[in-house]
Amino acid sequence: MILDRLRKDKENQSFQQAVASDKPIRSFLKALTWRVIGTLDTMLVSYFVVSDVKIASTIAGVDFLTKMILYFFHERLWSTIKWGR
């Protein structure tokens, strides 16, 4: 019974891998939406620390770009890892 299950899992593995992996555009959109939320948070925290909207906006803008790029590559790297699927 267990061996039958293992064989069946092996046969379905390529299908499951195809379903589980994200396309780059999906990773990009996930990165973008997450960064919008994160940037709003960074802007609010920065404003409370520096009490200057211009400086808070600059900090949030730099944060938005760098973290979105880092998240995109982090997400793509994880899509290549089979562990936990």
* 11 pLDDT higher than 60: no
* 9 pLDDT higher than 60: no
Tokens of 67: 């973290």
Instruction: Provide the pLDDT for residue 14.
Output: 61
d(CA 26, CA 4): 35
Please write the tens of the pLDDT for every residue from 38-74: 989 999 999 999 999 999 999 999 998 998 889 889 9
Are 11 and 68 contacting, i.e. CB atoms less than 8 angstroms apart?
no
What is the pTM for the complete model shown? 0.58
* 19 pLDDT higher than 90: no
